[in-house]
């Protein structure tokens, strides 16, 4: 199992030479329906920029978003677009009247209308990039990583797609007629792109895109349950819940507090806002600090469950070094 995991990493590194043409026609796309998701989108955008992506960054936003958050997003993203399905009066509005339960899903499907980009990579606002992932643009629609819970389904948190009004129309129709087997966009997309599991293995992003050197960590529950001390770089909160990916959580908070909070402070001016960071530099005494330390036994176990500590002892460089010695 350990061996198999390493092989998937080598496949990732092989496609490093970027052959996709017209990089200005390609974009990372995210969706932020409210201010919480906007903060996630800001961290995601910053993480993509920090890793020197050559692609455009596009954020679709919802009408409830506050002005300061919109302004901050516009500093990071090339293109920030309001999507108000309720107000659109078009096919999406009609679809939504039939299936009001799928509101946010219809908003997400809007990314197919971004037709002045030829190819896009959608990333949920609660994801974080830990290295350059522009190589994803070498893949075709619909490429995505398997969902760990349902291996025959893909996880719709990150996927490669081609904007097209034709596909958009078909998706709306599919959504209206069939609904979603899980009540959200993952069900709709897996239904529509139903041959993903069997048709073309190149559309299967290596599993590593879900937990990885490269990827992607869901922070939103984290944002609710922790506070962060930027000075000591410590997180306080429900340690048990965080213990699956403590290093990613720390990475998220570090980027958020250093790059996003100062920008939000500018945008909010005199208006108060809650950053989630501890301001006096001390964590409350009963709070436990998170220490991402594991014994080698525990690490091995995590590896075998597909949960390597990619940022720390199992970081990409370490894994690659091991792989290089192995191949020599």
Ligand X SMILES: *[C@@H]1O[C@H](CO)[C@@H](O)[C@H](O)[C@H]1NC(C)=O
Q: Of the candidates 8, 36, 70, 71, which one interacts with ligand X according to CB under 6 A? A: 36
Residue 170's contacts (CB-CB under 8 Å, 6 or more residues apart) are 192
9 contacts ligand X (rule: CB under 6 A): no
Site mask, ligand X, residues 96-135, x = CB under 6 A? -------------------------------x--------
- The alpha helices in the chain, defined as continuous H runs, are 2-14, 35-50, 67-76, 91-98, 103-109, 165-178, 185-192, 196-199, 208-211, 220-225, 239-242, 246-255, 261-268, 296-304, 316-327
Asked whether the beta carbons of 79 and 58 are under 8 A apart, the reply is yes
Q: Which stretch binds ligand X (CB under 6 A): 33-41, 70-78, 93-101, 229-237?
A: 33-41
Find the residue with minimal CB distance to ligand X. 157
3-state secondary structure of 44: helix
Binding-residue pattern over the window 130 to 169 for ligand X, x denoting contact by CB under 6 A: ------------------x------x-x------------
> Is 271 one of the binding residues for ligand X (CB under 6 A)?
no
Distances (CA, A) of 43 to 103, 260, 267: 25, 7, 16
Query: Can residue 218 be called a binding residue for ligand X (CB under 6 A)?
Result: yes
Question: Would you count residue 62 as binding ligand X (CB under 6 A)?
Answer: no
Compute the least distance from the CB of residue 247 to ligand X, in Å: 14
In three-state secondary structure terms, 304 is helix
Of 186 and 234, the one with the shorter C-beta distance to ligand X is 186
Smallest distance, ligand X to C-beta of residue 36, A: 4
Task: Report how far Cα 61 is from the mean position of its chain's Cα atoms.
Answer: 15
Using the contact rule CB under 6 A, the part of the chain among 34-42, 161-169, 177-185, 278-286 near ligand X is: 34-42
- 296 near ligand X, judged by CB under 6 A: no
How many binding residues for ligand X (CB under 6 A)?
A: 14
Give the length of the chain.
328
**Cα–Cα separations (whole angstroms), residue 262 to 103, 106, 125, 257:** 33, 33, 19, 7
Piece of 17-25, 113-121, 210-218, 268-276 that binds ligand X (CB under 6 A)? 210-218
Task: Please tell me whether residue 52 binds ligand X under the rule CB under 6 A.
Answer: yes
Contact status: 172 vs ligand X (CB under 6 A): no
C-alpha dist (Å) from residue 202 to 133, 135, 138, 164, 287: 16, 13, 10, 21, 46
The token duo for 15 is 């496609």
- Residue recorded with tokens 């991402």: 292
Residue indicated by tokens 């469950």: 305
Q: Is 210 near ligand X (CB under 6 A)?
A: yes
Which of the ranges 30-38, 73-81, 227-235, 265-273 carries the binding residues for ligand X, by CB under 6 A? 30-38
Question: Which of 20, 23, 25, 35 forms a contact with ligand X (CB under 6 A)?
Answer: 35
49 binds ligand X (CB under 6 A): no
Query: Integer distance in angstroms from the first to the last C-alpha of the chain?
Result: 21
Q: What is the DSSP letter of 22?
A: -
Stretch that binds ligand X, among 16-24, 31-39, 180-188, 282-290 (CB under 6 A): 31-39
Nearer to ligand X, 117 or 217 (CB): 217
Place of tokens 């961290």: 43
Cβ atoms of residues 296 and 104 within 8 Å: no
Q: Which is nearer to ligand X, 31 or 171 (CB)?
A: 31
Which parts of this chain interact with ligand X (CB under 6 A)? 34-37, 51-52, 127, 148, 155, 157, 210-211, 216, 218
């Amino acid at each position: 199992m350990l061996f198999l995991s390493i092989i998937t990493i080598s496949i990732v590194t092989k496609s490093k030479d970027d052959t996709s043409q017209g990089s200005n026609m390609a974009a990372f796309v995210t969706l932020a329906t409210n201010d919480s998701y906007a903060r996630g989108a800001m961290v995601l955008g910053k993480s993509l920029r920090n890793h020197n992506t050559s692609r455009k960054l596009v954020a679709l936003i919802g009408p409830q978003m506050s002005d300061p958050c919109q302004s901050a997003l516009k500093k990071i993203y090339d293109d920030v677009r309001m999507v108000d399905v309720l107000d659109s009066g078009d096919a999406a509005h009609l679809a939504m009247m039939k299936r009001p339960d799928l509101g946010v899903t219809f908003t997400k499907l809007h990314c197919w209308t971004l037709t002045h980009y030829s190819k896009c990579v959608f990333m949920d606002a609660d994801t974080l990039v830990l290295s350059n992932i522009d190589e994803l643009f070498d893949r075709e629609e619909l490429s995505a990583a398997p969902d760990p819970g349902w291996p025959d389904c893909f996880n719709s948190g990150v996927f490669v797609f081609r904007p097209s009004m034709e596909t958009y129309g078909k998706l709306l129709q599919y959504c209206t007629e069939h609904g979603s087997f899980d009540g959200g966009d993952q069900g709709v997309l897996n239904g529509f792109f139903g041959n993903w599991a069997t048709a073309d293995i190149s559309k299967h992003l290596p599993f590593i895109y879900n937990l990885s050197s490269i990827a992607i960590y869901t922070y939103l529950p984290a944002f609710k349950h922790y506070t962060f001390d930027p000075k000591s770089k410590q997180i306080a909160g429900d340690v048990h819940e965080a213990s699956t990916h403590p290093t990613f959580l720390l990475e998220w908070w570090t980027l958020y507090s250093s790059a996003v909070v100062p920008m939000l402070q500018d945008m909010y001016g005199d208006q108060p806002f809650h950053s989630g960071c501890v301001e006096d530099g001390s964590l409350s005494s009963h709070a436990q600090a998170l220490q991402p330390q594991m014994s080698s036994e525990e690490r091995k176990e995590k590896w075998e469950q597909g949960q390597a500590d990619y940022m720390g002892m199992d970081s990409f460089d370490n894994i690659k070094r091991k792989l290089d010695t192995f191949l020599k």
